Amino acid sequence: MRSTRFSKGALVAATTALVLLPAGAAYAGSGPATGPSQKLTRTSAPSPEGNPASKLAKASGVCDDAVQIGERALIKRGSETLASVKQFYSKKCHENYAYLWVWESFRETAAPYDVTLGVYSYDDDSVHAAKTWKATKQQEFWSEGANTVEACTSAVGSLRPAGSPQAYQAFSQKRC
């Protein structure tokens, strides 16, 4: 009997000690100060991922809260990747945008090319906010905002290299 009571007493004492002695905790603001190089900053530089704060995005009226939706698509010529196409959505502006990024491996050796870009609506079978660029060496392209948030959509883009009679195109994942 005595050993059972002793065991229960030891168990209660050990449990109480564990509860009273914290193993370690992290509290907001308790860590080392974040230096300027560690802070998340938003730049205006263009990027393959798509930056709604870039100069060209702003010029097209892209809202700064736009985020990518759906999977990207690749514009290919045979096995060579020419560009990527993505769709973005802004909750704040209630708009969809198409985005095209010309890959550096193509761009560095290509003569000027033509680009078309827009938001395709499966609901009305048409391209919204379509834009075209002729004989350009630009790398980043944004459509204007499309009022297609209530529709099923994809970003659709094409690139026609100089000297080619045909354009190569791709469309991002369908989003509803």
DSSP string, 20-60: HS------TT-SPPPPGGGS--------TT--TTSHHHHHT
Give CA angle at 80 (107, 83), nearest 5°: 50
**Residue 83 confidence (pLDDT) above 70:** yes
* Cα–Cα distance for residue pair 160/82, rounded to 1 Å: 10
pLDDT tens-digit profile of 162-175? 999 999 999 999 99
Task: Report the pLDDT value the prediction gives residue 38, as an integer from 0 to 100.
Answer: 38
Residues 6+ apart with CB under 8 A from 113: 102, 135, 136, 137, 159, 160, 161, 162
Q: What is the mean pLDDT of residues 89-96?
A: 98
DSSP letter at 105 equals: H
What ranges make up the beta strands (E) of the chain?
Answer: 67-77, 80-90, 95-102, 113-121, 126-136, 140-142, 153-160, 168-171
Mean pLDDT of 32-56: 70
**pLDDT of 4 over the 70 cut:** no
pLDDT(132) > 80: yes
Q: Is 133 helix (H, G, I), strand (E, B) or coil?
A: strand
Is the pTM higher than 0.85? The answer reads no
Q: Average pLDDT for residues 102-129, to the nearest whole number?
A: 97
Residue 149 pLDDT greater than 90, yes or no? yes
pLDDT-derived band at 44, boundaries 50, 70, 90: confident
**What is the arrangement of strands in the sheet containing 140-142, beginning at the earlier edge strand?**
67-77, 80-90, 95-102, 140-142
Banded pLDDT at 24 (limits 50, 70, 90): very low
Pair type for strands 126-136 and 168-171: unpaired
- Position 163 scores a pLDDT of 95
For the residues 67-74, what does the mean pLDDT come to?
Answer: 98
